[in-house]
Chain A
Amino acid sequence: MSIRCFVAATLLMWAGGAGALDLVVVVSPASGVERLSRDEVINLYMGRARKLPGGTAARPIDLASGAGREKALFYQRLLSRDLAEVKAYWARLTFSGQASPPVQADNPDQVLDLVARNPGGVGYVDRTLVDARVRIVYSFGE
């Protein structure tokens, strides 16, 4: 675990050093959702909420593990957990077969695509990548 922590810290430093990421959560404008609270984001991504506040079935989109540093940063900022812990969480739930982890996209562009095409889609990308197809509903700030 300490090694994992070390890796995460190294990644953060590297990310900071390569230029700070400003992660934001985006949804499709068709969802009718204007803003999401931090808890709502957690509920959506950790399997508690199956629907968006507007009533649309939610489709949270994650990044694949090797897709970049956004994923680790996202969970770190959202839950203060590293990826291994998040993986273990899902492993417990998938064992009972009742809940499943979010769909994984290969890169942030694919995330934006999926969100833009699905009214229930939810994703997280760097603020600089956001375009008119999606709407920012939650921001982590600096």
Chain B
Amino acid sequence: MSTAPSSMRGFASSIRSGNERVIHLLRRNLRLRAAAIIFLVGGLAGLCAALVSIPIVMSTERALMQRQSEALIDAVEDAVSTACFVDDRELAKQALAGLVKNPYLRGAEIRVDGRVIAAAGEARTAASVLSRAVHSPFSKSQVVCEIRVEPNETYTRERVYTSALRIAGLLAAQTAAVVLAALLAVGYFVTQPIRSISMSLHRIEAGAGGQIPMPRGHDADELGMLVRDTNHLISGFSGLIASERALRAQRERDEQRMRLIFENAETGLFTLADDGRLQSWNPACVSVLGGPLVGAAAPTLAQLLPSLAPALNALQQRCIERQRSVSEDFALREHDGQERWIQIVLTPASGGELQGLANDITDRKRAEEAAQELATTDSLTGAMNRLGLNRRLANMVAEHARDSARGFSLAMIDLDWFKQVNDTWGHEAGDHVLRVVAQRLERAVRRTDTVARLGGDEFVLLLDGVSEARAALTILEKVRDAVLAPIPLEGGAQARVGASIGVAVVSGAVHSPDELMRRADAAMYAGKKDGRNNTRVFSDTA
């Protein structure tokens, strides 16, 4: 007995799993689903039709039975009339016996004045009795008896049920036919084309494109529309993917190119994070900035070049404040004492970052310097030319204007008897004399002083820090002596030149460079007028 519940459970679970299997199958199969729905609806409709047909058939059958009964009574009425007329019970019984042979009638009887004189068939019930008054054969007004018949309800019901069953059977057969037709139609027109479309879709690879072949005979219907739309979509996506791929390849090439440029550039390229640390840098940075080395922690520019820390920080600050590119050249003293120039350009980028360029501009700086020197040097004597003098003088005037304690003296020198040297020994000898005089002037003054040749036999000395006339005169006497010393020429001859010197001393008041030149010039001519080879200091009173 103990196994009964478990076997019941097993039975229930097997039913459940069976149901699940059916539901699973219906979920997977469009055809079966359509068939199931048709079967369900058709079956229900058939059942309803059969049920609804029962009362209809019943009333039809009742009417038929009524007619049948009437016809049967008609058939025996004459005999019954005669039998009743003469009260012939035997004849009456015979007539009734013939009557109840009919399956529509269950029983029949003849009554005279309510008394039964003849009966046939089964026991009579009161229900649904059909009765008719029977007249005398010779007088339509005289009623001689009454025929009562009881219809056979059972027989009628059987006929009704048989009819309903037949209808249900026919409908079931029709439903089965429709289900079969639906299975075939759905399979042939829907499932099979969809499966072939699905297989084609599986074969299509992403990116490669491809088309679903149109299922035969479906080009005008909904499936055809689906296939066309899908193909349209596929080709659209394929195009998109292809162009996307081409773009990606292009970008990779560009990135590669940029990387090559970045890696191989002679210019140091770097970015600075918002905290000032180097974020990324190319190999050129290492050679230009001297680092950072591979694997080193990201330093700031100031840490990388400690000697330039204040200037670099200021440059960074300026770039961030102005939000535009800034650049500055910096001189670096190498370990071996060599000077090196670098130029750093900073550009603001998004998010407080900075992009930077670092170039080694030492060669350019040297070239510039060379050009500068060339421009400010007298080619004959190697002394400063007029341009160089003007610059130096402007600088010194500006410096004196800032700090009046830093005075200086300007001495204008004109060589005496130089014309005779030229006339006597020629221009070459004159040039030699000029070169020697320049050398002697350089030697006579300090390194910080300036020797310039204005042209011809005119020289200018700038004596830095000499702000007293006496000190100036002491120095200039030495200078004059140096110039006066005989100058050996080629061929053993000796030339002699003198020097007329005018001095302008800059101490307290500020004067323009032109004014200083004019004063020194005036003092020099005043000396020349008094007799040559003389040194005069310009004074306001003179």
Interface residues of B in 84-117 (CB under 8 A from A): 85-91, 94
Interface residues of B in 126-178 (CB under 8 A from A): 137-139, 142
* B82 CB–A CB distance under 8 Å: yes
In the complex, the answer to whether A97 meets B90 with C-beta atoms within 8 Å is yes
Flag the segment in A20-28, A39-47, A106-114 that touches B: A39-47
Residues of A within 8 A of B90 (CB): 96-98
Residue of B nearest to A92 (CB): B82
In the complex, the answer to whether A96 meets B142 with C-beta atoms within 8 Å is no
A127–B88 CA distance with the chains assembled, in angstroms: 34
Residues of A within 8 A of B332 (CB): none
In the complex, the answer to whether A99 meets B88 with C-beta atoms within 8 Å is yes
Interface residues of A in 75-94 (CB under 8 A from B): 79, 81, 89, 92-93
**14 intermolecular pairs with C-beta atoms under 8 Å apart:** A39-B139, A46-B86, A46-B137, A48-B85, A89-B82, A89-B137, A92-B79, A93-B82, A96-B83, A96-B91, A97-B90, A98-B86, A98-B88, A99-B86
Query: In the assembled complex, how far is the CB of residue B298 from the closest CB belonging to chain A, in whole angstroms?
Result: 140
Residues of A within 8 A of B87 (CB): 48, 98
A99–B137 CA distance with the chains assembled, in angstroms: 15
Tally chain A residues at the interface, Cβ within 8 Å. 15
Instruction: Give B residues with C-beta under 8 Å from A.
Output: 79, 82-83, 85-91, 94, 137-139, 142
Residues of B within 8 A of A46 (CB): 85-86, 137-138
In the complex, the answer to whether A39 meets B142 with C-beta atoms within 8 Å is yes
Q: Which of A89, A96, A98, A99 has its CB near the most chain B CB atoms (within 10 A)?
A: A96
Not counting A92-B79, A93-B88, A98-B89, a sample of 11 additional A-B residue pairs whose C-beta atoms are within 8 angstroms of each other reads A39-B142, A42-B139, A46-B86, A46-B137, A47-B86, A89-B82, A89-B137, A92-B91, A96-B91, A96-B94, A98-B90
A119–B509 CA distance with the chains assembled, in angstroms: 206
Q: Which of A42, A48, A99 has its CB near the most chain B CB atoms (within 10 A)?
A: A48
A39, A42, A81, A96: the one within 8 Å of B88 (CB): A96
A97–B138 CA distance with the chains assembled, in angstroms: 21
Residues of A within 8 A of B138 (CB): 42, 46, 79, 81
A98–B137 CA distance with the chains assembled, in angstroms: 17
Query: In the assembled complex, how far is the CB of residue A74 from the closest CB belonging to chain B, in whole angstroms?
Result: 13
Q: Which of B88, B138, B142 has its CB near the most chain A CB atoms (within 10 A)?
A: B138
Residues of B within 8 A of A47 (CB): 85-86
A95–B86 CA distance with the chains assembled, in angstroms: 13
In the complex, the answer to whether A93 meets B139 with C-beta atoms within 8 Å is no
Residues of A within 8 A of B91 (CB): 92-93, 95-96, 98
A96–B87 CA distance with the chains assembled, in angstroms: 12
Query: In the assembled complex, how far is the CB of residue A137 from the closest CB belonging to chain B, in whole angstroms?
Result: 19
Residues of A within 8 A of B88 (CB): 93, 96, 98-99
Residue of A nearest to B141 (CB): A39
Residues of B within 8 A of A42 (CB): 138-139
Query: In the assembled complex, how far is the CB of residue A67 from the closest CB belonging to chain B, in whole angstroms?
Result: 23
Query: In the assembled complex, how far is the CB of residue A141 from the closest CB belonging to chain B, in whole angstroms?
Result: 19
Q: Which 3 A-B pairs have the closest CB atoms?
A: A98-B88, A47-B86, A96-B91
Residue of B nearest to A49 (CB): B86
In the complex, the answer to whether B86 meets A48 with C-beta atoms within 8 Å is yes
Residues of B within 8 A of A48 (CB): 85-87
Query: In the assembled complex, how far is the CB of residue B453 from the closest CB belonging to chain A, in whole angstroms?
Result: 183
Residues of B within 8 A of A92 (CB): 79, 82, 91
Q: Which of B82, B83, B89, B142 has its CB near the most chain A CB atoms (within 10 A)?
A: B82
Residue of A nearest to B144 (CB): A48
Query: In the assembled complex, how far is the CB of residue B325 from the closest CB belonging to chain A, in whole angstroms?
Result: 142
Residue of B nearest to A47 (CB): B86
A89–B88 CA distance with the chains assembled, in angstroms: 13
A48–B137 CA distance with the chains assembled, in angstroms: 11
Residues of A within 8 A of B94 (CB): 96
A42–B82 CA distance with the chains assembled, in angstroms: 13
Residues of A within 8 A of B83 (CB): 96
Contact with B along A5-23 (1 / 0, CB 8 A): 0000000000000000000
Residues of B within 8 A of A39 (CB): 139, 142
Q: Which of B83, B86, B87, B139 has its CB near the most chain A CB atoms (within 10 A)?
A: B86
A89–B83 CA distance with the chains assembled, in angstroms: 10
Residues of B within 8 A of A81 (CB): 138
A77–B83 CA distance with the chains assembled, in angstroms: 23
Residues of A within 8 A of B79 (CB): 92
Residues of B within 8 A of A98 (CB): 86-91
Query: In the assembled complex, how far is the CB of residue B315 from the closest CB belonging to chain A, in whole angstroms?
Result: 150
A98–B92 CA distance with the chains assembled, in angstroms: 11
Residue of B nearest to A38 (CB): B139
Interface residues of A in 46-80 (CB under 8 A from B): 46-48, 79
A89–B139 CA distance with the chains assembled, in angstroms: 15
Contact with B along A103-138 (1 / 0, CB 8 A): 000000000000000000000000000000000000
A96–B138 CA distance with the chains assembled, in angstroms: 20
